[in-house]
Amino acid sequence: MSASHTHDTHAAGHDDHGPMKGWRRWFYATNHKDIGSMYLIFSLVMFLTGGAMAMVIRAELLKPGMQFVDPGFFNSMTTMHALIMVFGAVMPAFTGLANWMIPLQVGAPDMALPRMNNLSFWILPFAFSLLLLTLLVPGGSPAGGWTLYPPLVLQTGDAFPMAIFAVHLMGASSIMGAINVIVTIMNMRAPGMTLLKMPLFVWTWLITAYLLIAVMPVLAGAVTMLLTDHYFGTSFFNAAGGGDPVMFQHIFWFFGHPEVYIMILPAFGVVSEIIPTFSRKPLFGYDAMVYATASIAFLSFIVWAHHMFTTGMPLVGEMFFMLSTMLIAIPTGVKVFNWTATMWKGSISFETPMLFSLSFLFLFTIGGFSGLMLAIAPADFQYHDTYFVVAHFHYVLVPGAIFSLMAATYYWLPKWTGHMYNEKLGKLHFWLSTIFVNVLFFPQHFLGLAGMPRRIPDYSTQFADWNFVSSIGGFCFGLTQLLFVYNIVSCVRGGVKASDKVWDDATPHGLEWTVSSPAPYHSFEVPPEVK
């Protein structure tokens, strides 16, 4: 049997005795669609788990005073909520989309390294089991926030090495997934598909994969130094031994800032696929979008210390990090204007994926503007570690990354399952999510500007009213996501059969021509005749 034949049979989910059945199909999966589905299901479970932790946080903050949990457990919840949402929900969900869609979009039979693909997924359930089990260990989970700052995080106790090992496993999984994406895109494109003919989702993931390989080892190094400080008597971050706790912040944010773009670049790719489809026009300025994505990725490496203006740095350092941060607004603005130009004079219809993409466009931009405010060093002295920062990054990550994942799910579900989801339920989910995400996070801007610090379980009565509003928004947003789960499950189990031209049949326009990211070399001011 030739090597290529062996690869094909295993990639198709077969062993030497025919197709694998039951649990074996999933446990030994090498098929990119099966692995993509497992990533997506896992990320949905983690999204609900992290969301439940957010509900604990918002319940405690519903009114002043200590209501439900003690301060130590509250701090554990903020840490766990962040780690689970970042590494367990958003990143695996985008990896699931990459597994499903990249081979289809570049014309490859499968991902380049199917067995490594299997391993990169199966590491994750063990990593997150380890992380969640820290809640049961005496002394509780790490309480240093997702940033794991020393010396606070070093007071954790027995759960500390479990959490560090879990972070290492997540990093290993991410690096393997990234290698797979790069090799697939570079080596397995269909004949004639040059790099500048690839769909934008593929481009954004290619750039994201390079970011992952560059920064995950940095996080691994930082947490390993924490471990040796804790157990082996080193003093990397211990001032008493000649170390520097601020050095940890530099190392962490050199990972942490590109990490933020790892979570948003694939979202840009998703929106760049959806907006042209529902505008019935090719994407405006395809080449500019590719170069803007690459520019954002490059700039993400030189802005890390804008998280650290209050730690004390030379004025020239403040100026450099302030100006380089503002520079990121330029390629991001190119993207926003290109998406808007794509819709200009388009024949637009408002199905659920398009609604989520439009919401992404407006609300992500709010997150971008508050980011510009935080980039101004003297202003950041006032906002730093207040709820204004919490509002800023949640506007980037919830209506940004999470909404784009929801848009992608609705957009590709008919392709994945062969069935149409319930459009009315999808629109209800969209409107409730959009309203309540603003009720949840917008008041946090006011709390932050009034001076409420983040990561505290109790607060002064002057902050009570907006916290009450924010918590109500949080509970309603959380409950709304059950509609999303119900819609997905009912679609997977059956429903109206999807046609081969699903989004044209679903719209009144009846246009039978379809578009992909790269624009053809002619004007679409006038729609072409359908042959």
Residues 6+ apart with CB under 8 A from 285: 334, 338, 341
DSSP codes of every residue in 165-216: HHHHHHHHHHHHHHHHHHHHHHH-PPTT--GGGS-HHHHHHHHHHHHHHHHH
Residue 152 backbone phi and psi in degrees, to 5: -60, -45
Count of C-beta atoms within a 10 Å radius of residue 218:
17
CB-based contact 387:449 (threshold 8 Å): no
Structure tokens at 491: 């679609």
Q: Within its chain, how far is the Cα of 405 from the centroid?
A: 8
Contacts of 410-415 with C-beta under 8 Å, sequence gap 24+, read: 410/351, 410/352, 410/353, 410/356, 411/270, 411/273, 411/274, 411/277, 411/353, 412/97, 412/100, 412/101, 413/488, 413/491, 414/498, 414/502, 415/498, 415/502
Positions marked active-site? 81, 110, 146, 173-174, 257, 259, 261, 272, 306-307, 332, 335, 454
Helix axes 91-106 and 245-279, enclosed angle (nearest 10): 50
Structure tokens at 218: 């940095």
Q: Which residues of 159-182 are buried (b: 16+ CB within 10 A; e: fewer)?
A: bbebbbbbbbbbbbbbbbbbbbbb
Identity at 227, one-letter amino acid code:
L
How far is the C-alpha of 31 from the C-alpha of 17, rounded, in Å?
A: 17
Q: Is 482 exposed, middle or buried (0-12, 13-18, 19+ CB in 10 A)?
A: exposed
Residues 6+ apart with CB under 8 A from 410: 351, 352, 353, 356, 421, 426
DSSP state of 517: S
DSSP codes of every residue in 375-419: HSHHHHHHHTTBHHHHHHHHHHIIIIIIHHHHHHHHHHHHHHHSB
Identity at 261, one-letter amino acid code:
Y
Identity at 440, one-letter amino acid code:
L
